[in-house]
């Protein structure tokens, strides 16, 4: 077969496939162009999930007649004045987007150069542009894209439903809206409900608008620097998690990016405080010398490479972990709101609910809540102290019988004022501790709280010396299926490091002789078979330490004060003081809250006193 050169329009279609993958990619490129043109207001209209129509209007600097005609040519750009790829200050720089769109859709670009008397319009179809014609346009640029992928039916077939495509457009817009806080955005069209973002004065106001007030109230601030790279933004408390990673927004030097390393580091920072399958919510912006990062990895410019990826990972994980543990027992405002709306018997408050108009009557309408601060700030306002190291810590090798320590005297009345979690007043339904705190009441889930305390202690024990063990008077035989027994026996040495000593005991059974003493008296059979389940899930070649947190979490779960045990006041207060002294005590190992807090003002609301 003879080799021949591909015709230009085919070359363009092939190249276009890399830039324009789906309707959302068109929106991304057009909005980026509008931002690069210095727009103050951008309007995005879509129909049919963007397959039918995408129109982006901006009030930026516009294009001259001559520029308009070259703008739609491949590799034509105004954005690399010095032709220097190392000094990119704009979102675009490859000069590909308009050409790519023109080769896979019908494209009409109309524009009026700032200060010019007339506006012009260019139409492109199948990669062929007509000469510019006069147009009616006050200012800025309007770009209209219709019948996307009509010339490449194969690509059209791979698109998802209109609804899914229009959601993808919303998502990409959110990412861009976050990096341009001072620009006003309107997203509208027949396939969606109107979204409007007013120009904001600072980035955190914009984050609140985009992420919603529930997030704002359950988030902590990140502001750190390491090796010339800065990180700023908000991350959600572990109790404010999602079932997928869609609400994780990253930008690098004000460019929205989707980067596996960054999301990996974010998730790793929460590994300890969040159940598998739950994902943290975050809006984080990184900044660094542009020379530290290569954005020219992929035509869509969403992937990046950091020169020092290790430093960036350490920065993300370190700054978030530190902020989380500083936030300590800051309650999640979301948990409080859920509690309140449960009292009201109504759905959680709408994020656009007007905070001032607490004009609800009767039981039907949920009262929207004030309190615009993040959880930590709120905790501080309420006088909650961050627990200091060494505060009422139990010795690691406490006698196993005492599942809860005997406390230094910490009962009412002083404890209510003195301690963040207040003084225990009642023990309800064998699992809930109700306390009076300085300005409200706290309800603690005793099981969840104890699980966290044991887990953290297990971890710190493992980080240092070998875990203290207790010898069982009568070793326990655990019957399992042969595979499970085999796997446990194989991991015997590693489990011993965690304080669990076991040996094979004939076919399909193992013998447990020693257990970690800090677990106290436990249901050994249940714990060992839960660990066997964990092992079955993991690759046989991976070291157990790689799954240390999970093993510790499983152990902690069986070593915890199971709900159902009645505690006296001393024991309850001891548990509260332990919580205050334990890192990450605001949530159990699965990311569920260990306590909820109602402020007096919340309670007054419940009774219509406010
Ligand atoms: P790039 O953005 O990489 O330069 P594009 O194909 O997206 O490539 O755009 C080509 C050129 O068209 C840009 O460099 C810019 O000069 C001009 N342009 C595109 N969109 C706009 C707009 N909305 N306002 C002003 N100029 C624009
Ligand atoms: Mg562009």
Q: Which phi and psi angles does 458 have, rounded to 5°?
A: -60, -45
pLDDT for residue 562 = 54
- ∠11-13-14 over CA atoms, to 5°? 65
The secondary structure of 539-604 as a DSSP string is -TTS-GGGGHHHHHHHHHHHHS--TT----HHHHHHHHHHHHHSTTTTB-TTS-BSEEEEEHHHHH
Residues 138 and 114: their CA atoms lie apart, in Å, by 10
Strands 509-516 and 432-437: unpaired
Q: Which of 43, 60, 74, 41 is nearest to 144 (CA)?
A: 43
The answer to whether the peptide bond before residue 170 is cis (omega within 30 degrees of 0) is no
pLDDT for residue 449 = 85
Range of weakest confidence among 180-194, 303-317, 521-535: 521-535
The secondary structure of 51-111 as a DSSP string is TSEEEEEE-S----HHHHHHHTSTT--SS-TT--TT---SS--SS-HHHHHHHHSEEEEEE
Residue 387 has pLDDT above 70, yes or no: no
Contacts of 115 (CB under 8 A, 6+ apart): none
**Structure-token match 């990311």, residue found:** 591
Residues 144 and 108: their CA atoms lie apart, in Å, by 5
Which of 60, 92, 101, 144 maximizes ligand 1 atoms within 8 Å of its Cβ, making it the mutation to test the pocket? Answer: 92
**Greater model confidence, 492 or 14:** 492
Mean pLDDT of 255-262: 90
Mean pLDDT of 118-145: 95
pLDDT for residue 269 = 92
The secondary structure of 241-302 as a DSSP string is -BSSSTTEEEEETTEEE--HHHHHHHHHHTTTTS-TT-B--EEEEEE--GGGEE-TTSTT--
**Greater model confidence, 232 or 389:** 232
pLDDT band at 379 (very low <50, low <70, confident <90, very high): very low
The secondary structure of 321-341 as a DSSP string is HHHHHHHTTPPPHHHHHHHHH
pLDDT for residue 328 = 65
Residue 467 has pLDDT above 90, yes or no: no
Q: What is the mean pLDDT of the chain?
A: 80
In which order are the strands placed within the sheet that holds 509-516? 469-479, 509-516, 501-504
Q: CB neighbours (10 Å) of residue 606?
A: 14
pLDDT band at 277 (very low <50, low <70, confident <90, very high): confident
Inter-axis angle of helices 260-269 and 309-327, nearest 10: 30
Which of 28, 31, 36 maximizes ligand 1 atoms within 8 Å of its Cβ, making it the mutation to test the pocket? Answer: 36
Going by alpha carbons, the residue nearest to atom 13 of ligand 1 is 77
CA of 93 to the centre of ligand 1 (A): 9
Residue 90 has pLDDT above 80, yes or no: yes
Residue 346 has pLDDT above 60, yes or no: no
Mean pLDDT of 194-202: 91
Which of 77, 121, 145 maximizes ligand 1 atoms within 8 Å of its Cβ, making it the mutation to test the pocket? Answer: 77
> How many alpha carbons fall within 13 Å on the CB side of residue 327?
31
Q: Which of 343, 380, 377 is nearest to 360 (CA)?
A: 343
Query: Percent of the chain beyond pLDDT 70?
Result: 83
For residues 24 and 50, the answer to whether their CB atoms sit within 8 Å is yes
Q: What tokens were used for 187?
A: 């997203």
pLDDT for residue 362 = 24
Residues 455 and 498: their CA atoms lie apart, in Å, by 12
Strands 106-112 and 119-125: antiparallel
Identify which of 44-58, 89-103, 436-450, 457-471 has the greatest average pLDDT: 44-58
**Greater model confidence, 34 or 463:** 34
Range of weakest confidence among 256-265, 283-292, 531-540: 531-540
Q: Which residues line ligand 1 (CB under 6 A)?
A: 29, 33-34, 37, 58, 60-63, 71, 77-79, 92-99, 141
For residues 242 and 215, the answer to whether their CB atoms sit within 8 Å is no
Q: With 0-12 CB in 10 A as exposed, 13-18 as middle and 19+ as buried, what is 571?
A: buried
Q: Where are the beta strands (DSSP E) in 113-183?
A: 119-125, 128-129, 133-135, 140-146
- Report pLDDT digits (tens) over 409-432: 444 456 667 788 989 999 888 889
- Report pLDDT digits (tens) over 241-258: 888 888 899 999 999 998
Sequence-ordered alpha helix ranges (H) in 366-519? 375-381, 414-418, 446-463, 482-490, 492-497
CA of 553 to the centre of ligand 1 (A): 53
Could you tell me how many residues make up the chain? Answer: 610
- Report pLDDT digits (tens) over 530-568: 888 888 877 776 777 667 767 777 777 776 555 556 778
CA of 35 to the centre of ligand 1 (A): 10
Residue 144 has pLDDT above 50, yes or no: yes
Q: Which of 222, 242, 237 is nearest to 286 (CA)?
A: 222
Mean pLDDT of 29-50: 96
- Report pLDDT digits (tens) over 322-340: 888 877 665 666 677 777 7
Contacts of 69 (CB under 8 A, 6+ apart): 122, 129, 131, 132
Query: Percent of the chain beyond pLDDT 90?
Result: 36
Going by alpha carbons, the residue nearest to atom 8 of ligand 1 is 95
CA of 26 to the centre of ligand 2 (A): 10
Residue 445 has pLDDT above 80, yes or no: yes
**Greater model confidence, 598 or 467:** 598
pLDDT band at 107 (very low <50, low <70, confident <90, very high): very high
Check: pTM over 0.85? Answer yes or no.
no
pLDDT for residue 394 = 29
- Report pLDDT digits (tens) over 390-413: 333 323 333 333 333 334 444 445
Range of weakest confidence among 122-131, 553-562, 565-574: 553-562
pLDDT for residue 605 = 82
CA of 32 to the centre of ligand 2 (A): 6
Which of 38, 71, 99 maximizes ligand 1 atoms within 8 Å of its Cβ, making it the mutation to test the pocket? Answer: 71
Residue 131 has pLDDT above 60, yes or no: yes
Identify which of 288-297, 362-371, 397-406, 477-486 has the greatest average pLDDT: 477-486
pLDDT for residue 355 = 29
> How many alpha carbons fall within 13 Å on the CB side of residue 358?
14
Q: With 0-12 CB in 10 A as exposed, 13-18 as middle and 19+ as buried, what is 68?
A: buried
pLDDT for residue 334 = 66
**Greater model confidence, 414 or 514:** 514
Mean pLDDT of 298-308: 80
For residues 490 and 444, the answer to whether their CB atoms sit within 8 Å is no
For residues 423 and 569, the answer to whether their CB atoms sit within 8 Å is no
CA of 33 to the centre of ligand 2 (A): 5
For residues 109 and 97, the answer to whether their CB atoms sit within 8 Å is no
Q: CB neighbours (10 Å) of residue 163?
A: 11
pLDDT band at 351 (very low <50, low <70, confident <90, very high): very low
- Report pLDDT digits (tens) over 214-249: 787 788 999 999 999 999 999 998 888 888 888 899
Q: Is the dihedral of CA 56, 57, 63, 66 positive or negative?
A: positive
Going by alpha carbons, the residue nearest to atom 7 of ligand 1 is 97
pLDDT for residue 267 = 92
CA of 197 to the centre of ligand 1 (A): 24
pLDDT for residue 25 = 94
């Amino acid at each position: 077969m003879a080799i021949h050169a591909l015709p230009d329009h085919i070359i363009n279609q092939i190249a276009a496939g890399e830039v324009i993958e789906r309707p959302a990619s068109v929106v991304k490129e057009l909005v980026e162009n509008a931002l690069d043109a210095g727009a103050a207001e951008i309007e995005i209209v879509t129909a049919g999930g963007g397959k039918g129509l995408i129109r982006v209007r901006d009030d930026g600097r516009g294009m001259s007649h001559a520029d308009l005609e070259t703008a739609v040519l491949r590799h034509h750009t105004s954005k690399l004045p010095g032709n220097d790829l190392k000094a990119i200050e704009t979102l675009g720089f490859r000069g590909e987007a308009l050409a790519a769109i023109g080769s896979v859709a019908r494209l009409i670009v109309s524009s009026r150069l700032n200060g010019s008397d007339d506006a012009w319009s260019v139409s492109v179809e199948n990669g062929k542009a007509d000469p510019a014609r006069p147009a009616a346009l006050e200012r800025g640029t309007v770009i209209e894209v219709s019948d996307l992928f009509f010339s490449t039916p194969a690509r059209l077939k791979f698109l998802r439903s209109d609804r899914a495509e229009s959601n993808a457009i919303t998502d990409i817009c959110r990412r861009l809206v976050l990096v341009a806080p001072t620009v006003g955005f309107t997203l509208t069209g027949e396939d969606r409900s109107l979204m409007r973002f007013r120009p904001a004065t600072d980035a955190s106001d914009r984050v609140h608008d985009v992420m919603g007030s529930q997030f704002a109230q359950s988030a902590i601030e990140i502001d750190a620097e390491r090796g010339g790279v800065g990180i700023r933004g908000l991350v959600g408390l572990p109790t404010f998690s999602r079932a997928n990673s869609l609400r994780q927004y990253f930008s690098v030097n004000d460019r929205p990016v989707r980067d596996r390393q960054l999301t990996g580091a974010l998730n790793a920072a929460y590994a300890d405080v969040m159940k598998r399958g739950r994902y943290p919510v975050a809006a984080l912006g990184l900044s660094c010398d542009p020379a530290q990062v290569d954005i020219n990895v992929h035509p869509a410019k969403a992937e990046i490479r950091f020169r020092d990826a290790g430093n960036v990972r350490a920065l993300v994980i370190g700054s978030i972990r530190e902020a989380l543990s500083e936030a300590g027992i800051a309650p999640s405002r979301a948990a409080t709101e859920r509690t309140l709306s449960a009292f009201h018997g109504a759905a959680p408050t709408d994020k656009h609910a007007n905070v001032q108009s607490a004009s609800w009557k009767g039981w039907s309408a949920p009262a929207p809540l004030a309190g615009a601060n993040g959880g930590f700030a709120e905790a501080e306002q309420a006088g909650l102290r961050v627990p200091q190291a060494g505060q009422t810590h139990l010795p690691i090798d406490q006698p196993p019988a005492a599942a809860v320590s005997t406390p230094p005297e910490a009962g009412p009345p002083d404890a209510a004022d003195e301690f963040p979690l207040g003084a225990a007043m009642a023990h309800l339904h064998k699992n809930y501790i109700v306390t009076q705190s300085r300005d409200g009441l706290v309800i603690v889930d005793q099981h969840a709280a104890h699980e966290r305390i044991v887990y953290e202690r297990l971890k710190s024990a493992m980080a240092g010396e070998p875990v203290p063990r207790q010898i069982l008077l009568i070793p326990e035989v655990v019957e399992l299926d042969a595979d499970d027994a085999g796997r446990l026996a194989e991991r015997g040495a590693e489990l011993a490091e965690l304080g669990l000593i076991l040996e094979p005991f004939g076919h399909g059974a193992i013998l447990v002789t020693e257990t970690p003493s800090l677990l106290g008296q436990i249901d050994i059979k249940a714990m060992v078979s839960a660990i066997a389940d964990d092992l079955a899930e993991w690759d046989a070649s991976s070291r157990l330490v790689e799954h240390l947190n999970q093993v510790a979490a499983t152990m902690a779960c069986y070593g915890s004060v199971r709900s159902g045990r009645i505690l006296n006041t001393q024991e309850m207060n001891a548990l509260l003081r332990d919580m205050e002294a334990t890192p990450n005590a605001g949530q159990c190992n699965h990311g569920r809250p260990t306590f909820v807090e109602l402020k007096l003002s919340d309670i007054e609301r419940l009774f219509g006193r406010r």
